[in-house]
């Protein structure tokens, strides 16, 4: 049973990818993507119900799996090297060659392959990750089907590049499933590299000059992460004589010597998760078609980074490394939130918000108490749904109005009421109670309260976050009154993922006590909260979730009813301090000439401007990272 589950979850996407690449018939490709998505979602649920396991897969075609992994690794690295030469980028070439040499020497001459231990082990953290990756990832792939058709129609390509696009889109899902289920860190490394190559290919997809430049940046930064990973792997093997992740985590407590490889692994994770000063590759990834950004930002790629930090968290609990990780994460949270405030480009706001939330997860991993780990895991789940939803909304909006600028989205409710409402809902689930992201943030703040620097960073960061989210939600609704707004037409495959993700973001937030007790508690040594009648409680604090939901839901129903009844009221134009003209959008100025009114959002360029802050934030982020690695060596 397990064999077939693992086969579907890890190799299934690779087979589907091959089909997408070989069979060049659009309908069959769509069918393959749809089937793979459904299959992955169902299998991930079955795997979860099956419970934690450790498993040794049988040899494939008579060859043990670790040989397949070595070959796959070499093919991968050689492909990257090829692109390094093709794009003439010296640094990536050096990094890739370094990895090839290290890996082959390590595999052929150092590792004792006869040692028996299960290469796949899953506890609740892995299973939760598989659920998030498979369900959210599949929804994004489904959304991509109509999206890419429109995208290519807009580009007027002679030859469709969709086969390649879908190939790597599904490959990343398979690789992520492999990564979170691996116990052998050589396997983990291989899947880590697949996500690097996949994101590189997806970012360069449009082949414009910016796309090519940004993809190379993503390549070298992620290769740096890969190089750190491989050094960590070899170092850990020299000290502990094993590549079994469970044993390495257990060895962390032994002290000093094991800390360096753990620090390098955290470093690899932080680069992958685009933490300062490596945020530029994720911001550059915005040039790719929206499903790519949605996939990289919500359920895959960057989540691989936080997964590694969380996976090895027990290994470095209570050390200086842990404290540094908290500082780095909290600083990234503040810095990313500050820069998001200065942006009016919707996708960039989303990107900075992702970086900030990942920083918060790293901070939680660093705090390393059961309470903080709970916050981190819940944040991974809730953030994946809300962020994927928002990205897909922006993608859809961009295809309709031709811009991703928040100012251009002003009054979107009058043009695309459904999408605008879903986007507002997504924004509300990102920042307000009773929804999940805020619940996790509450846990994080209470867990961080004893760390003075960290709590100041988190307090300021969350206030900044409130600014950019509420501003956006307000602008979406900012339209002159019309008695009846005509809903927009949408493709079924566009609307379905949006609705499912929106439903997921709301319902999962309401099921938080259930998620906590079923998904998170089994992973922790001791449950940090007691739950009674939907109230999260411990000596530090209490989150009365269900009573709040009840009251706010009542208020919501009243508000909707009152707003519906108010349609019978008299309507007038807004106050413009002058005689209005008939269209209510301008007033009569001098000489009875109409003067149009306009207003914009405050972006605080002079305080939080990206150009002003990036350099300083990168320097601070770099110093903190140096502290993290230097302190552990």
Partner 1 sequence: MRGVILVIIGVVAAPLLGGLIAGVDRRLTAWFQSRYGPPVWQPFFDVAKLFAKERLLVNTWQVFCAYIYITAAMLSVVLFFLQSDLLLILFVQAVGAIFLVIGAFSTTSPFSQVGANRELIQILTYEPLIVLVFVGIYLATGSFKISEVYSHTSPLLKSLPLLYIVLCYALTIKLRKSPFDFSTSHHAHQELVKGFLTEYSGPYLALVEIGHWYEVVLILGLCSLFWATSWTGIIVLVGLTYLCEILIDNVMARMTWRWMLGSVWTMGLSMSFVNLIWLHGG
Binding residues for partner 1, rule: CB under 8 A, are 411, 431-433, 438, 442, 445-446, 449-450, 452, 455-456, 458-460, 462-464, 466-467, 470-471, 473-475, 477-481, 539-544, 548, 551-552, 554-556, 558-560, 562-564, 566-567, 569-577, 584-585, 597-602, 607
- As measured in angstroms, the least distance from the Cβ of 455 to partner 1 is 5
∠ Cα 421 424 425 (to 5°): 85
- As measured in angstroms, the least distance from the Cβ of 202 to partner 1 is 35
Angle between helices 370-401 and 436-448 (to 10 degrees): 140
- As measured in angstroms, the least distance from the Cβ of 618 to partner 1 is 22
DSSP state of 278: S
- As measured in angstroms, the least distance from the Cβ of 602 to partner 1 is 4
3-state secondary structure of 313: helix
Structure tokens, 525: 């040594």
Q: What is the distance between the alpha carbons of residues 488 and 416, in angstroms, rounded to a whole number? A: 5
Contact 13, 7 (CB under 8 A): no
Nearest CA-CA partner of 309 in 368, 227, 233, 383: 368
- Residue with smaller CB distance to partner 1, 133 or 338: 338
- As measured in angstroms, the least distance from the Cβ of 545 to partner 1 is 9
- Residue with smaller CB distance to partner 1, 531 or 632: 531
Residue 601's CB: how many other CB atoms inside 10 A?
16
- As measured in angstroms, the least distance from the Cβ of 410 to partner 1 is 9
- As measured in angstroms, the least distance from the Cβ of 526 to partner 1 is 19
- Residue with smaller CB distance to partner 1, 550 or 626: 550
Torsion sign over Cα 134, 137, 143, 145: negative
Structure tokens, 249: 């985590």
Structure tokens, 530: 């007691």
Nearest CA-CA partner of 124 in 184, 59, 180: 180
- As measured in angstroms, the least distance from the Cβ of 604 to partner 1 is 8
- Residue with smaller CB distance to partner 1, 94 or 544: 544
- Residue with smaller CB distance to partner 1, 57 or 573: 573
- Residue with smaller CB distance to partner 1, 447 or 501: 447
- As measured in angstroms, the least distance from the Cβ of 140 to partner 1 is 28
Strand 120-122 to strand 594-596: parallel, antiparallel, or no bridges (unpaired)? unpaired
- Residue with smaller CB distance to partner 1, 108 or 456: 456
- Residue with smaller CB distance to partner 1, 85 or 556: 556
- Residue with smaller CB distance to partner 1, 477 or 620: 477
Q: What is the distance between the alpha carbons of residues 509 and 430, in angstroms, rounded to a whole number? A: 10
Q: Phi then psi for 206, rounded to 5 degrees? A: -75, -10
H/E stretch holding 292 reads helix 290-297
Structure tokens, 41: 């979602």
Structure tokens, 369: 């108490």
* Distances in whole angstroms, Cα of residue 448 to Cα of each of 214, 457, 477: 35, 10, 36
- As measured in angstroms, the least distance from the Cβ of 170 to partner 1 is 38
- As measured in angstroms, the least distance from the Cβ of 626 to partner 1 is 25
Q: What is the distance between the alpha carbons of residues 386 and 350, in angstroms, rounded to a whole number? A: 11
- Residue with smaller CB distance to partner 1, 23 or 576: 576
Structure tokens, 121: 């082990």
3-state secondary structure of 497: helix
Cis peptide preceding 494, ω within 30 of 0: no
- As measured in angstroms, the least distance from the Cβ of 20 to partner 1 is 42
Structure tokens, 239: 């000290």
- Residue with smaller CB distance to partner 1, 151 or 410: 410
Q: What is the distance between the alpha carbons of residues 381 and 383, in angstroms, rounded to a whole number? A: 6
- As measured in angstroms, the least distance from the Cβ of 236 to partner 1 is 36
According to DSSP, the residues that pair with 244 across neighbouring strands are 184
Q: What is the distance between the alpha carbons of residues 102 and 533, in angstroms, rounded to a whole number? A: 55
Torsion sign over Cα 392, 395, 399, 401: positive
Strand 594-596 to strand 586-588: parallel, antiparallel, or no bridges (unpaired)? antiparallel
Residue position matching structure tokens 């230097």: 630
61 dihedral zone (left: phi>0; alpha: psi -120 to 50; beta):
left
- Residue with smaller CB distance to partner 1, 231 or 458: 458
- Residue with smaller CB distance to partner 1, 292 or 440: 440
DSSP for 233-246?
Answer: HHHHHHHHS--BHH
Q: What is the distance between the alpha carbons of residues 298 and 381, in angstroms, rounded to a whole number? A: 9
- Residue with smaller CB distance to partner 1, 288 or 603: 603
């Amino acid at each position: 049973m397990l064999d077939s589950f693992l086969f579907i979850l890890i190799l299934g996407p690779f087979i589907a990818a091959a089909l997408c690449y070989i069979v060049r018939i659009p309908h069959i490709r769509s069918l393959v993507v749809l089937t793979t998505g459904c299959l992955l979602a169902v299998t991930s649920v079955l795997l979860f119900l099956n419970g934690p396991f450790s498993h040794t897969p049988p040899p494939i075609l008579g060859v043990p799996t670790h040989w397949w992994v070595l070959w796959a690794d070499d093919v991968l690295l050689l492909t990257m090297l090829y692109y390094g030469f093709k794009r003439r980028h010296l640094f990536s070439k050096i990094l890739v060659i370094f990895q090839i040499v290290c890996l082959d020497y390590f595999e052929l001459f150092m590792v004792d392959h006869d040692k028996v231990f299960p290469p796949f082990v899953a506890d609740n953290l892995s299973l939760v990750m598989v659920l998030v990756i498979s369900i959210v990832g599949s929804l994004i792939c489904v959304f991509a089907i109509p999206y890419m058709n429109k995208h290519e129609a807009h580009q007027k390509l002679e030859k469709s590049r969709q086969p390649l696009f879908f190939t790597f889109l599904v490959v990343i899902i398979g690789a992520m499933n492999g990564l979170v289920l691996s116990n052998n860190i050589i396997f983990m490394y291989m899947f880590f590299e697949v996500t690097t190559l996949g994101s590189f290919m997806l970012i360069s997809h449009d082949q414009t000059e910016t796309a090519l430049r940004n993809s190379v940046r993503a390549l070298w930064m992620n290769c740096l992460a890969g190089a750190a990973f491989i050094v960590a792997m070899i170092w850990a093997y020299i000290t502990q004589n094993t590549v079994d992740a469970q044993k390495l985590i257990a060895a962390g407590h032994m002290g000093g010597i094991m800390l360096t490889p753990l620090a390098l692994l955290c470093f690899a994770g932080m680069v992958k998760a685009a933490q300062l000063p490596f945020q530029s590759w994720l911001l550059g990834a915005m040039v790719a078609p929206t499903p790519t950004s949605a996939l990289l930002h919500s359920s895959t790629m960057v989540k691989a980074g936080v997964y590694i930090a969380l996976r090895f968290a027990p290994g470095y609990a209570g050390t200086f490394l842990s404290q540094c990780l908290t500082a780095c994460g909290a600083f990234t949270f503040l810095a990313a939130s500050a820069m998001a405030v200065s942006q009016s480009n919707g996708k960039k706001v989303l990107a900075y918000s992702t970086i900030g939330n990942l920083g918060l997860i790293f901070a939680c991993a660093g705090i390393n108490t059961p309470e903080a780990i709970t916050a981190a895991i819940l944040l991974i789940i809730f953030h994946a749904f809300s962020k994927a939803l928002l990205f897909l909304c922006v993608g859809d909006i961009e295809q309709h109005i031709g811009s991703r600028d928040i100012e251009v989205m002003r009054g979107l409710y009058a043009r695309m009421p459904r999408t605008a409402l879903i986007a507002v809902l997504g924004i509300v689930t990102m920042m307000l109670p009773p929804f999940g992201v805020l619940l996790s943030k509450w846990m994080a703040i209470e867990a961080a309260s004893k760390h003075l620097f960290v709590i100041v960073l988190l307090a300021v960061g969350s206030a900044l976050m409130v600014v950019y989210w509420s501003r956006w939600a307000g602008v979406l609704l900012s339209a002159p009154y019309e008695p009846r707004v005509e809903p927009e037409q949408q493709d079924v495959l566009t609307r379905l993922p949006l609705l499912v993700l929106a439903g997921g973001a709301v319902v999962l937030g309401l099921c938080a006590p259930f998620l906590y007790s079923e998904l998170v508690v089994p992973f922790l040594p001791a449950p940090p909260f007691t739950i009674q009648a939907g109230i999260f409680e411990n000596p530090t604090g209490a989150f009365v979730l269900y009573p709040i939901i009840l009251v706010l839901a009542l208020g919501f129903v009243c508000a909707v009813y009152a707003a519906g009844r108010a349609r019978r009221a008299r309507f007038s134009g807004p106050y413009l301090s002058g005689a209005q003209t008939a269209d209510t959008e301008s007033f009569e100025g001098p000489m009875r000439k109409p003067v149009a009114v306009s207003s914009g959002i405050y972006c605080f360029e002079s305080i939080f401007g990206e150009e002003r802050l990036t350099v300083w934030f990168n320097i601070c982020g770099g110093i903190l990272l140096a502290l993290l690695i230097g302190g552990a060596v």
